[in-house]
A and B are shown apart, each in its own frame.
Chain A
Amino acid sequence: MRKVESFKVATYPAVIIVFLLFAGMLFVYFTNALPALHRYGLDLYLENVWRAAEEPSEEVYGIAAAIWGSIYTSIIAILIALPLSVAYSVFVVDYAPKRLKNAFIILSDIMAGLPTIIYGIWGAFFLVPFLRDWIMKPLYDHLSFIPLFSYPPVGGYSYLSAGVLLAIMVTPFASAIIREAYNMVPFTYKEAIYSLGATRYEATKVLLGYIKPAIVSGTILAFGRAVGETVAVSLVIGNTFNLTTALFAPGYTVSSLIANQFGNAFIYEYMTSTLFAAGLILFVIGLAVNVVGLKMLKRWERDVNI
Chain B
Amino acid sequence: MLTSNRKTKEKVFFIGIGALTILIFIPLFHIIATVLIKGFPVIAERGTKFLTGTLSEGGIGPAIAGTFILTFLSALLGLPVAFLVGVYAYEYPKSTLGQWTKTLLQIMIEFPTILVGVFVMQVVAVPMGTYSALAGALALAIILTPYVAVYTHEALREIPSTYREAGFSLGLTRAKVVFRILAPMAKRGILTGVLIGMAKVAGETAPLLFTAGGLYESYPSSITKPVGAVPLLIYQLVQSPNPVDHATAWGASLVLLAIFLGIFIPIRLSLKEVRL
Interface residue ranges, A against B (CB under 8 Å): 5-7, 10-15, 17-19, 21-22, 24-25, 28-29, 32, 83-85, 87-88, 90-92, 95-96, 104-122, 124-126, 168, 171-173, 175-176, 180, 199-202, 204, 221, 224-225, 227-231, 235, 255, 258-259, 262-263, 275-276, 279, 282-283, 286-287, 290-291, 293-294
The residues in B between 20 and 61 inclusive whose CB is less than 8 angstroms from any CB of A are: 20-21, 23-25, 27-28, 30-31, 34-35, 38
Considering the complex, give the chain B residue whose CB is closest to the CB of A103: B25
Q: Establish whether residues A255 and B112, one from each chain, have CB atoms under 8 Å apart when the complex forms.
A: yes
A155 to chain B, nearest CB (A): 13
B142 in contact (CB, < 8 A): yes
B236 to chain A, nearest CB (A): 10
Q: CB < 8 Å: which of A110, A176, A229 contacts B264?
A: A110
Q: Establish whether residues B231 and A115, one from each chain, have CB atoms under 8 Å apart when the complex forms.
A: yes
Q: Establish whether residues A173 and B81, one from each chain, have CB atoms under 8 Å apart when the complex forms.
A: no
Q: CB < 8 Å: which of A85, A107, A202 contacts B6?
A: A202
Q: Establish whether residues A91 and B17, one from each chain, have CB atoms under 8 Å apart when the complex forms.
A: yes
Q: Note all chain B residues with C-beta closer than 8 A to A275.
A: 118
Q: CB < 8 Å: which of A18, A28, A121, A224 contacts B234?
A: A121
Q: List 9 A-B contacts (CB under 8 A).
A: A14-B80, A18-B105, A106-B269, A199-B10, A200-B14, A202-B6, A228-B110, A259-B114, A276-B118
Considering the complex, give the chain A residue whose CB is closest to the CB of B101: A15
B74 in contact (CB, < 8 A): no
Q: How distant is the Cα of A6 from the Cα of B172 in the complex, in angstroms?
A: 12
Q: Note all chain B residues with C-beta closer than 8 A to A113.
A: 196, 199-200, 203, 260, 264, 274, 276
Instruction: Given A118-B35, A118-B257, check contact A21 B235 (CB 8 Å).
Output: no
User: Beta-carbon contacts of B9-20 to A below 8 Å, as 1s and 0s?
Assistant: 110011011101
Chain A interface SS verdict (over half): helix
Closest 6 CB pairs of A and B: A228-B112, A115-B203, A14-B84, A87-B20, A230-B206, A7-B175
B18 to chain A, nearest CB (A): 6
Instruction: Given A5-B173, A110-B264, check contact A255 B114 (CB 8 Å).
Output: yes
Q: Note all chain A residues with C-beta closer than 8 A to B249.
A: 121
Q: Establish whether residues A91 and B206, one from each chain, have CB atoms under 8 Å apart when the complex forms.
A: no
Q: Establish whether residues B110 and A87, one from each chain, have CB atoms under 8 Å apart when the complex forms.
A: no
Q: Establish whether residues B88 and A15, one from each chain, have CB atoms under 8 Å apart when the complex forms.
A: yes
Q: Establish whether residues B173 and A25, one from each chain, have CB atoms under 8 Å apart when the complex forms.
A: no
Q: Establish whether residues B9 and A201, one from each chain, have CB atoms under 8 Å apart when the complex forms.
A: yes
A208 to chain B, nearest CB (A): 11
A171 to chain B, nearest CB (A): 6
A199 to chain B, nearest CB (A): 5
Q: Establish whether residues B246 and A7, one from each chain, have CB atoms under 8 Å apart when the complex forms.
A: no
Q: Note all chain A residues with C-beta closer than 8 A to B269.
A: 106
